[in-house]
């Protein structure tokens, strides 16, 4: 496994666990508990050997998309989708996350009686079930457009985001296998989303596609994810853009989008004062937690406790939460931070 278990020490991990944190880039199906996945796979009589794929440490970016296909084979019922949503949020709360902005791709699976709309309803029901039992963590939701989708399918997802805006859907994400499709396909849907006041985050530069990455930067999304594979010109355009960037250290190192933790572009961007936020991406697929991602950053980039606190606090402002919620989060953050040694 290409993680470096000795990179951070237990004291750093304990400190990062005690930090109040904000998660802004977590794909629902990539964050499913391994135990739940095994249980759901057994119910569907899916070969348990396949589930072991998820526990295997090394994986290329291409293999990740095979794993998502496997996960999607078991998270097909309304009850399973509700359950995984509730559990992912419970895991976030247990990791001292005060705001979790999850993202997921609404799926039409007629063979399982699922439409994109009933999928979104199931996720919202999972969020409600969590919130009824837990008062300490705020939750946001983005709907993802998968790069395998057509312009029409993308537009359908945007329509759902507009319809469920008042129920907590704050925006859209463009994700999926970065080697597939073309930006021009989904751009009209994303234009429509933006025109209706929804926020947009784009996965960009996860592989080297300079023409597309440049067009995405020019489009000026509210946030970007990854931006690992850039040339000098794109790097300066990113810095000049000041667009907040979601960075997922384990994901990028394990999938070899980045050579190693100390080489991660977090270092350069952070020291240049670019707005960055640490995230997990797919906590289950990359066997991580947000606290662990913070500990990796603390160790790899030699950050002190005050710097880690500021990094966590600033993330609140990059979220798509409404301003009154951001204010509440800052108050909760300051209260919790005051208790940290
Ligand atoms: C791009 C990713 C991703 O939407 O079914 N996804 N897209 N790059 C990544 N880096 C590793 N990790 C996850 O969650 C799983 C889906 O999220 C996207 C892929 O489209 C994947 O199928 P949902 O909840």
Catalytic residue among 138, 153, 206, 246: 206
Question: Could you tell me the distance, in angstroms and rounded to a whole number, from the CA of residue 300 to the centre of ligand 1?
Answer: 26
Question: Could you tell me the distance, in angstroms and rounded to a whole number, from the CA of residue 44 to the centre of ligand 1?
Answer: 22
DSSP characters for 198-244?
-EEEEEE-SS--HHHHHHHHHH--SEEEE--S--HHHHHHHHHHT--
- The answer to whether 206 is a known catalytic residue is yes
Return the residue matching tokens 């005060």: 98
pLDDT (tens, 9 = 90+) of the chain, 341 residues, equals 444 456 899 999 999 999 999 999 999 999 999 899 889 988 888 877 767 777 666 778 888 888 899 899 999 999 999 999 999 999 999 999 999 999 999 999 999 999 999 999 999 999 999 999 988 899 999 999 999 999 999 999 999 999 999 999 999 999 999 999 999 999 999 999 999 999 999 999 999 999 999 999 999 999 999 999 999 999 999 999 999 999 999 999 999 999 999 999 999 999 999 999 999 999 999 999 999 999 999 999 999 999 999 999 999 999 999 999 999 999 999 999 999 86
Ligand 1 atom closest to the Cα of residue 144 is 4
Ligand 1 atom closest to the Cα of residue 206 is 8
Ligand 1 atom closest to the Cα of residue 28 is 24
Give the model's pLDDT for residue 51.
Answer: 72
Give the model's pLDDT for residue 2.
Answer: 45
Question: Could you tell me the distance, in angstroms and rounded to a whole number, from the CA of residue 209 to the centre of ligand 1?
Answer: 18
Q: What is the pTM of this model?
A: 0.96
Question: Could you tell me the distance, in angstroms and rounded to a whole number, from the CA of residue 68 to the centre of ligand 1?
Answer: 7
Nearest to 81 by CA among 145, 138, 129: 129
Q: What single DSSP character describes residue 113?
A: T
**In this structure, are residues 212 and 183 in contact, taking their beta carbons and an 8 Å threshold?**
yes
**What is the distance between the alpha carbons of residues 150 and 173, in angstroms, rounded to a whole number?**
15
**What is the distance between the alpha carbons of residues 265 and 226, in angstroms, rounded to a whole number?**
9
Helices (H) and strands (E) in the chain, counts: 15, 8
**What is the distance between the alpha carbons of residues 275 and 94, in angstroms, rounded to a whole number?**
26
Is the C-alpha dihedral spanning 248, 252, 281, 1 positive or negative? negative
**What is the distance between the alpha carbons of residues 218 and 207, in angstroms, rounded to a whole number?**
18
Interface predicted TM-score (ipTM): 0.99
Ligand 1 proximity of 319 Cβ (cutoff 6 Å): no
Nearest CA to ligand 1 atom 3: 176
Ligand 1 proximity of 252 Cβ (cutoff 6 Å): no
Nearest to 106 by CA among 98, 121, 116, 92: 116
């Amino acid at each position: 496994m290409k993680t470096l278990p000795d990179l951070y020490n237990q004291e750093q991990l304990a400190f990062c666990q005690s930090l109040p944190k904000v998660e802004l880039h977590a794909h629902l199906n990539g964050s499913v508990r391994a135990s739940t996945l095994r249980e759901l796979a057994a119910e569907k009589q899916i070969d348990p050997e396949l589930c072991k794929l998820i526990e295997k440490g090394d994986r290329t970016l291409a293999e990740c998309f095979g794993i998502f296909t496997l996960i999607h084979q078991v998270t097909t019922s309304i009850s399973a989708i509700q359950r995984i949503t509730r559990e992912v949020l419970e895991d976030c709360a247990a990791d001292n996350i005060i705001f979790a902005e999850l993202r997921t791709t609404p799926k039409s699976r007629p063979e399982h009686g699922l439409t994109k709309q009933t999928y979104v309803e199931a996720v919202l029901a999972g969020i409600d079930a969590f919130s009824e039992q837990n008062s300490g963590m705020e939750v946001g939701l983005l709907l993802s457009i998968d790069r395998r989708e057509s312009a029409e399918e993308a537009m359908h997802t945007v329509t759902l985001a507009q319809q469920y805006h008042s129920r907590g859907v704050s925006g859209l994400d463009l994700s999926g296998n970065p080697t597939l499709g073309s930006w021009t396909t989904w751009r009209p849907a994303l234009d429509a989303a933006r025109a209706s006041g929804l926020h947009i985050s784009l996965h960009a530069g996860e592989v080297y596609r300079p023409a597309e990455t440049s067009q995405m930067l020019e489009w000026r999304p509210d946030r970007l994810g990854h931006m690992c594979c850039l040339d000098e010109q794109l790097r300066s355009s990113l810095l000049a853009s000041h667009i907040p960037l979601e960075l997922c250290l384990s994901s990028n190192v394990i999938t070899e989008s980045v050579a190693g933790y100390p080489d991660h572009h977090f270092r350069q961007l952070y020291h240049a004062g670019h707005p960055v936020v640490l995230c997990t991406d797919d906590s289950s697929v990359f066997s991580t937690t947000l606290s662990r991602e913070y500990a990796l950053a603390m160790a790899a980039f030699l950050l002190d406790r005050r710097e880690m606190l500021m990094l966590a606090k600033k993330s609140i402002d990059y979220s798509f939460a409404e301003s009154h919620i951001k204010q509440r989060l800052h108050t909760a953050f300051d209260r919790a931070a005051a208790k940290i040694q």
